Amino acid sequence: MVNYNLSYNLDFCGVTIRTQNVYTMQGILNRFVASSTGQNFTCTLSGFYFAGQSGLWLQTTDSEWVLNTESEFIGQASYQITIEDAQKIIDTITANDKRIYENNLICARFADRLTEEQRNQLTLLQGRLSLRDTAIRLNTNLRDKKESYPQGYIEFYDRLQQITGGVGVVISTTAMIIISAVVLAGMATAIYFAFRSWCNESIRDVKYSDELTKTLLEKLTPEEYARLKKETGGMITKAKLSGRFAGASGLFKWVLVGVGCGFLYNSYKKRKQKGGIF
């Protein structure tokens, strides 16, 4: 797993550089891979970096990476990022990830109705969600982190893991995701540029996720809706699912705990075996 707890240097933030090599960080491979080479690229730095054997890997504001030994520093940009700007980025990611997670659990329940291509899409959606969630969990410039799982529907978590596991995508081992975090005072610019690209990714993923889930729901029979209602203790019905795609906000009741509690899925399973949930 890639360590997203990056080092940060305010002197790098906003610096413009010229380079011929731009890299992406491959979470699965845990290394940097060239994505664009052979021409002059002008990039702006976010301020985050890794210290590697080849030099400093500097993050750009597009969440790509350049190597300082291959780059020419050519200027300093000026930014006026407010704490509200940065908080909106984090709030958008967590809200989108909540909805995607809900969708993914529904799709996992009826995975037999998905095509191979749709199953692969589900895996990629969950994998990207997991990486965004990990980035928030490990970033020390975010505080008051709270995590949650969708009560009742977490029963489908095993099915989701069966589908998404072992396909080369990093999947979280916890059934819970971060649903809120607060930007640390004075770190608005750092958080904004660190998570802006992930925010845009989450917006795209919500669209893909909703399309996949809506397509699946159109295939379900009355009998399957009845089983779903029974399995979730009446928490989810065809009417609720239909409302979800008619502008309804949120489908699940979420159980909240602080991140420091370290609630992993193994703990959930033990509680489940004892006949209780929290």
More confident residue, 29 or 113: 113
Share the mean pLDDT of the chain.
Answer: 81
pLDDT at residue 267 in the model: 38
pLDDT at residue 50 in the model: 83
Q: What is the mean pLDDT of residues 240-247?
A: 78
More confident residue, 3 or 174: 174
> Does residue 277 carry a pLDDT above 80?
no
More confident residue, 167 or 134: 134
> Does residue 23 carry a pLDDT above 90?
no
Q: Which of 40-49, 233-242, 266-275 has the lowest mean pLDDT?
A: 266-275
Q: What is the 3-state secondary structure (H, E, C) of the chain?
A: CCCCCCEECCCCCCEEEEEEEEEEEECCCCEEEEEEEEEEEEEEEEEEEEEECCEEEEEECCCCEEEHHHEEEEEECCCCCCHHHHHHHHHHHHHHHHHHHHHHHHHHHCHHHCCHHHHHHHHHHHHHHHHHHHHHHHCCCEEEEEEEEECCHHHHHHHHHHHHCCCCCCCCCCCCEEEEEEECCCCHHHHHHHHHHHHHHHHHHHHHHHHHHHHHHCCCCHHHHHHHHHHCCCCCCHHHHHHHCCCCCCCCCEEEEEHHHCCCHHHHHHHHHCCCCC
> Does residue 202 carry a pLDDT above 80?
yes
Q: What is the mean pLDDT of residues 103-132?
A: 94
pLDDT at residue 33 in the model: 65
Q: What is the mean pLDDT of residues 39-61?
A: 85
Whether pTM exceeds 0.85: no
Confidence class for position 64, pLDDT limits 50, 70, 90: confident
> Does residue 25 carry a pLDDT above 80?
no
Q: Which of 1-10, 37-46, 125-134, 192-201 has the lowest mean pLDDT?
A: 1-10
More confident residue, 1 or 35: 35
